[in-house]
């Protein structure tokens, strides 16, 4: 079944109407900037319109069984989370973290269809044009189509586009007794073999250039080596020296302070929803910490915080 037939049947609209819609789809985004986590600069978010978002979600349904995603990719996958990503490295002594530069915006239709050809996934010329306009954003006055941070289809497309790279790197890592995972643009390598990670950055840059035809690059300023002598963090999760996962002392102090303020009635109303999310995250990563909070402040206080969600 072609993607036109699938979407036409799902939306109860004609193929010609789909084509008309696609012609303006690359411009149907609300664009805004948010500060980066490190406080240096801003990240551009482009949210598709309600109508485009619906079509993109249907495209994911159509494509997800056709587009291969390597097991090394732990981000945006059903049943996996940052906890799984970090847990893969928790028993290893030495850690290397790397990062891609402008990951989503670096992914363009040419690379997507290049990987499709590698994987023997075939689309007609008409389907290619449609997918280019539906899945990729184009700024007015710019000739380049780019993957958008904010579109529901971008995670699947990005994981698929990196599948060849992930495959090559995973094979290299297995041969060198290195654990490898990739959570979106965050790459993590760990091992118990001393000094075996120092050659990895150069190898990764070479493999990345070959697999993505030079379109995606490493952000060298974010390449970090660490060991059990230092604090080790992966995608916001702390790796302890005894091989466990933790929120980290700073995060636990922050959550404890918020719970204390709530217990004495001084926590601002606007911060309660944030605390609810923090407690949920704490339970997911380090449930023992939540148990300690319950013992210190009482089950009733913790339940009261959680109960605010239902009101």
Q: Are strands 29-35 and 42-48 parallel, antiparallel or unpaired?
A: antiparallel
Q: Where are the alpha helices (DSSP H) in 89-124?
A: 103-106, 109-118
Q: Is residue 198 part of a domain?
A: yes
**70 and 199 fall within a common domain:** yes
Q: Is residue 140 part of a domain?
A: yes
**214 and 251 fall within a common domain:** no
**Residue position matching structure tokens 């050809």:** 117
- Residues near 234 by beta carbon (within 8 Å), at least 6 away in sequence: 82, 85, 86, 89, 95, 97, 186, 188
Mean pLDDT for 34-61 is 90
Q: Is residue 59 part of a domain?
A: yes
**209 and 152 fall within a common domain:** yes
User: What is the residue-wise DSSP string for 188-256?
Assistant: EEEESSTTTTTTHHHHHHHHHHHHTTT-SEE-GGG-EEE-TTS-EEETTEEEPTTS-EE--HHHHHHHH
Name the residue range of residue 254's domain: 247-306
Q: Is residue 311 part of a domain?
A: no
User: Per-residue confidence at 309, pLDDT binned at 50, 70, 90?
Assistant: very low
Comparison of pLDDT for 33 and 9, the residue scoring more: 9
DSSP state of 298: -
**229 and 86 fall within a common domain:** yes
**178 and 78 fall within a common domain:** yes
Instruction: Give me the pLDDT at residue 34, please.
Output: 87
**Residue position matching structure tokens 């690379």:** 111
Instruction: Give me the pLDDT at residue 202, please.
Output: 97
- Picking from 190, 216, 238, the residue at the C-terminal end of a domain is 238
- Picking from 204, 220, 238, the residue at the C-terminal end of a domain is 238
**258 and 231 fall within a common domain:** no
Is the confidence at residue 311, as pLDDT, over 50? no
CA 2 vs. chain centroid, Å, equals 29
Instruction: Give me the pLDDT at residue 140, please.
Output: 81
Per-chain mean pLDDT for the chain: 94
Model confidence over 91-116: pLDDT tens digits? 999 999 999 999 999 999 999 999 99
8 A C-beta contact, residue 68 and residue 161 = no
Could you give the number of structural domains in the chain? 2
User: Per-residue confidence at 142, pLDDT binned at 50, 70, 90?
Assistant: confident
**126 and 148 fall within a common domain:** yes
Q: Is residue 196 part of a domain?
A: yes
Is the confidence at residue 117, as pLDDT, over 60? yes
Q: Is residue 267 part of a domain?
A: yes
Q: Is residue 221 part of a domain?
A: yes
Which CATH number does the domain housing residue 41 bear? 3.30.70.270
- Picking from 210, 238, 266, the residue at the C-terminal end of a domain is 238
**46 and 92 fall within a common domain:** yes
**143 and 226 fall within a common domain:** yes
**146 and 189 fall within a common domain:** yes
**162 and 187 fall within a common domain:** yes
Instruction: Give me the pLDDT at residue 304, please.
Output: 93
Mean pLDDT for 180-198 is 97
**216 and 233 fall within a common domain:** yes
Tallying the residues shown for the chain, one arrives at: 311
Whole-number Å distance between alpha carbons of 53 and 66: 20
Q: Is residue 76 part of a domain?
A: yes
């Amino acid at each position: 079944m072609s993607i036109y037939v699938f979407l036409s049947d799902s939306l109860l609209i004609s193929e010609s109407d789909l084509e008309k819609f696609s012609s303006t789809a690359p411009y149907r985004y609300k664009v805004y900037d948010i500060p980066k986590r490190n406080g240096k600069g801003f990240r551009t978010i482009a949210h598709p319109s309600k109508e485009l978002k619906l079509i993109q979600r249907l495209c994911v349904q159509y494509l997800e069984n056709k587009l291969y995603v390597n097991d090394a990719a732990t981000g945006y996958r059903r049943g996996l989370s940052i906890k799984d990503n970090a847990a893969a490295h928790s028993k290893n002594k030495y850690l290397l973290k790397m990062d891609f530069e402008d990951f989503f915006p670096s992914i363009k239709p040419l690379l997507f269809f290049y990987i499709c050809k590698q994987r023997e996934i075939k689309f007609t010329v008409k389907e290619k044009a449609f997918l280019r306009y539906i899945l990729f954003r184009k700024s007015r006055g710019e000739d380049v189509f780019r993957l958008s941070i904010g579109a529901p289809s971008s995670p699947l497309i990005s994981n698929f586009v990196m599948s060849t790279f992930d495959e090559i790197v995973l094979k290299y890592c297995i041969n060198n007794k290195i654990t490898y995972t990739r959570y979106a643009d965050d790459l993590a390598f760990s091992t118990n073999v001393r000094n075996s990670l120092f050659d990895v950055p150069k190898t990764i840059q070479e493999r990345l250039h070959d697999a993505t035809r030079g379109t995606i690059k490493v952000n060298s300023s974010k390449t970090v080596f660490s060991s059990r002598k230092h604090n080790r963090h992966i995608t916001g999760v702390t790796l302890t020296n005894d091989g466990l996962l933790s929120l980290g002392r700073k995060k636990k102090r922050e959550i404890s302070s918020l719970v204390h303020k709530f217990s004495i009635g001084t926590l601002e109303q606007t911060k309660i929803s944030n605390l609810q999310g923090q407690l949920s995250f704490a339970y997911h990563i380090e449930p023992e910490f939540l148990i300690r909070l319950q013992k210190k402040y009482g089950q009733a206080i913790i339940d009261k915080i959680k109960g605010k969600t239902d009101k």
